[in-house]
């Protein structure tokens, strides 16, 4: 793991060692993870693909469950309109 030196983040406790500020291991680990995944653009495309697939699956399920009820509601409305117009 790489050691980060410099000014600490807001609220991050720092130890002094020979006049330099050294981050605590937790802060250093978080920075290491940020640096490691910062340039990883392939993962974002995978995440977008997963989101699109989930939205499509939920949409298909909702339309499947509600489709019959919506169709029946329109049929009833059509019947009521035809019956009330006297036609």
Q: pLDDT tens for residues 37-55?
A: 676 566 678 888 899 999 9
Element housing 40 (H / E): none
- Distance CA(62)–CA(52), nearest Å, equals 15
Question: For 50, how many CA atoms within 13 A lie in the half-sphere containing its CB?
Answer: 6
Quote the pLDDT of residue 56. 93
pTM for this model (two decimals): 0.37
- Distance CA(36)–CA(48), nearest Å, equals 20
Query: Around Cβ 62, how many Cβ atoms within 10 Å?
Result: 10
CA neighbor of 2 nearest in space, from 52, 49, 36, 46: 36
Question: Residue 86 gets which letter from DSSP?
Answer: T
Regions of the chain with pLDDT less than 50: none
CA neighbor of 27 nearest in space, from 18, 35, 19: 35
Quote the pLDDT of residue 7. 52
């Amino acid at each position: 793991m790489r050691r980060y030196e410099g000014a600490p983040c807001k609220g991050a406790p720092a130890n002094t060692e020979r006049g330099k500020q050294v981050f605590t291991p937790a802060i250093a680990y978080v920075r290491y993870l940020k640096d490691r995944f910062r340039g990883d653009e392939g993962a974002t495309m995978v995440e977008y693909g997963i989101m699109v697939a989930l939205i499509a699956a939920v949409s298909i399920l909702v339309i499947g469950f509600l489709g019959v009820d919506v169709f029946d509601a329109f049929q009833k409305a059509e019947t009521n309109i035809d019956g009330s117009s006297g036609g």
